[in-house]
Structure 1
Amino acid sequence: MSGITYDIANRIATITLNRPEKRNALNGALVRELRAAFANAEADPAVKVVVLAANGKAFCAGADLDYLQQLQGYTHEENLSDSRELMFLFREIYGMEKPVIALITGDAIAGGCGLATVADLSYAVPEARFGYTEVRIGFVPALVSIFLVRKIGEGRARELLLTGKLVDAAAAAQAGLINGVWPAGAIRQEVYALAGRLCTETSANSLKVTKRLVRTALDLPLDAALEEAARINADTREHPDCQQGIAAFLNKEKLEW
């Protein structure tokens, strides 16, 4: 059975983790499936927004236990190659031109919490727990730390990464790890309503460029970053989406993207 399902409706691609009997835990095969699914969504002109969801009680419980045991027999080069597969997955989600929304209806632990971290927007049910528990088993949250520090700052990241503690959805939202909490009976409707608004109320080019601006904001010194932002402003003013949007605004016309 495939570790994921993939569906498209109303310009929204839904990638669903589908190993409920394993709490949607990650292994090499599932990481490769996820990479392929996100690549398909990125390349498909019929897709504007991606929702990452999960079947079962957990969103993603981190690494599969059988997989962890298997890794014990790997050489250094094999471990490095395997680690890079997860690195590529996180980087590809983080760098997608299309918005990614995580719909979290259960625990997101270790690598599963990493998926919540790299999504553009993440929403959870109150019962969901979050944590980077790697230090509890002698491992390190190496890959996710790069993204978490960018997302919530060094101080809060240190607390979560060093203690390996689990926090509930409300605390995760307060820390900035996720964007909001909705009841189980409402979260799916709310997430897809948000995805729908992104599809109909925002320019695809503007989403792409804004994601790039946020992603690279810390990469340059201030003056260089401002100069790059000015250049992007000028380029965007010449894009057909901007010209169409401004014309509709001036003419008081409702524009559906």
Structure 2
Amino acid sequence: MEFIEYGKKGQIGYITLNRPEKRNALSYEVVTELKEAFSEASQDDGVKVIVLRANGKAFCAGADLGYLQQLQANTYEENLEDSNHLKELFYQIYTLDKIVIAQVQGHAIAGGCGLVSVCDFAFTVPEAKFGYTEVRIGFIPAIVKVFLLRKIGEMKSKELLLTGELISADEARAYEIVNKVVAASELEEMVESFANMLISKNSKQSMAFTKQMIAKVQGMSLEDGLQYAAEMNAKARASEDCQRGIAAFLNKEEIKW
């Protein structure tokens, strides 16, 4: 791939944005390669947790503005196809059957902040700035809005999406966009340690089921959500992982996932 690097360390799959000269801005080709990399990591039985990271000073500056300018000559149908392309990437990450951790070493702006928002966990450095700046260039944060409302609620989303203001890493933590602010010298080690904790202590299947349910249940009525939860509960009880886990607990044995 030209713009994305994919590699593994143990059971961690690393997907790295590698377009530092463009601040890792998103274009059709970059989104295509990201989708391919996440598909590869999802299908790799040797990968249990995925880390999304970037090379260079910025994590991701959002859409490539030169690319957006070119799209202005497109028809509505062509622009819809391009928009669906990004939508599919965000949905893919949000519903992927593996945990995705964002390792944010620099600014995450507009679509870049959207990438962080759809990951399951996010760790960042104090120097990073975050924001959804689309309204400041006459654009709209259309796709990320759907996920951000779920993540942080309406009031906080309105503050960020309607003002277009950039916020600090500590503010992003307060808004619950990121989980932790870590010194740059400790970021990589902290993310790797957290990923390995998930790998060693948790069932891969249980994390996949739980993530799937979080994504689905919010769009259901109370009754439908509870019925879905009961069905998943019953399904999990019959799983090999649940049988192994309960047996190990009762026998006071340490289980190796």
TM tier, shorter chain? over 0.9
Amino acid at match of 1:70: Q
Q: In percent, how many aligned pairs have the same letter?
A: 53
d(CA) in 1 for partners of 2:224 and 2:139?
A: 38
Aligned pairs, number: 257
Aligned to 1:10: 10
Partner of 2:138: 138
Mapped partners of 2:223, 2:37: distance in 1:
38
Equivalent position SS for 2:70: helix
> Deviation at 1:68?
1.7
Residue 138 of structure 2 aligns with an amino acid whose one-letter code is G
Aligned counterparts of 1:86 and 1:200: Cα–Cα separation in 2: 33
TM-score (norm 1): 0.98
Other-structure match for 1:80: 80
CA-to-aligned-CA distance 1:15-69 (integer Å, 9 cap, x gap): 0000111100011110000000001111111111100000000000011122122
Give ranges in structure 2 of 5+ residues lacking alignment: none
Matches within 5 A, 1:85-104: 85-104=85-104
* Distance across 2 between alignment mates of 1:133 and 1:228: 37
Structure 1 portions without partners, runs of 5+ = none
Report what 1:156 is aligned to: 156
Instruction: Give me the whole-angstrom Cα distance separating, in 2, the residues matched to 1:185 and 1:112.
Output: 22
How far apart are residue 217 of structure 1 and its match?
2.3
Deviations, residues 140-166 of structure 1 (Å, cap 9, x unaligned)? 000000000000001100110000000
What is the one-letter code of the residue matched to 1:29?
A: E
Q: Which residue of 1 aligns with 2:108?
A: 108
The secondary structure found in structure 2 opposite 1:186 is helix
Q: What residue in structure 2 maps to residue 213 of structure 1? A: 213
1-structure distance, mates of 2:152, 2:227: 26
TM-score (norm 2): 0.98
Residue 36 of structure 2: SS of its match in structure 1?
helix
Deviation of residue 227 (structure 1)? 2.0
2:126 is the counterpart of 1:126: yes
Code of the aligned partner of 1:96: L
1:111 aligned partner, one-letter code: G
1:199 partnered with 2:218: no
RMSD after superposition: 0.9
Runs of 4+ in 1 over 3 A off after TM superposition: none
Using the TM superposition, give the Cα deviation of residue 107 of structure 1 relative to its aligned residue in structure 2, in angstroms: 0.3
